[in-house]
Amino acid sequence: MNKNSLAKKILVVDDEPDTLELIKLVLESGGFETILVNNGVEAIAQIATVKPDLVLLDIMMPEMDGWELFRKIKEKDSSIHIAILTAKAQNIDRLLGLHVLKADDYITKPFGKNELIDKVKKLTGLTDKPQITTID
């Protein structure tokens, strides 16, 4: 865990240990503090104590799936930013996440390192505009 107290805190919720470790490596290389949990109950407890700047939430998890966890988080605090991070790449899943539940973003696995860091920066307010390259 990054000890920089100014670093944005990202709570990552995924039931796959390898995925959690990969996301941790990527986000910490981008200067973020990461908190890793592997289930919905633990996520709710961490949100109460850690107050993350962003939650990256997997959908396909045992016991409490990501859709249910999303609703529970928003019931407790509607201001928390949540991005769906999932292998479910079908349009219906994306529509459900972005337009029905109103997730802040929908990131499909596999994702590139720079893609994830850029999206997390945008969602945590570290960048508010896409980078535009001009050709002179």
Residue the block writes with tokens 């941790």: 24
pLDDT on residue 98: 65
Question: What percent of the chain clears pLDDT 70, i.e. is strictly above it?
Answer: 79
Q: Tell me the pLDDT tens digit for each residue of 40-87.
A: 999 999 999 999 999 999 988 888 888 899 999 999 999 999 999 888
Pairing of the two strands 82-86 and 54-57: parallel
Tens digits of residue pLDDT in 27-43: 999 999 999 999 999 99
* pTM passes above 0.95: no
Give 11's strand partners: 35, 55
For residues 126 and 133, which has the higher predicted lDDT (pLDDT)? 126
pLDDT of 3? 52
Q: What residues does each domain of the chain span?
A: 9-123
The architecture that CATH gives domain 9-123 is: 3-Layer(aba) Sandwich (3.40)
**Pair 54, 11: CB distance under 8 Å:** yes
Give the per-residue pLDDT at 109: 86
Helix (H, G, I), strand (E, B) or coil at 11: strand
Chain centroid to Cα 45, Å, comes to: 16
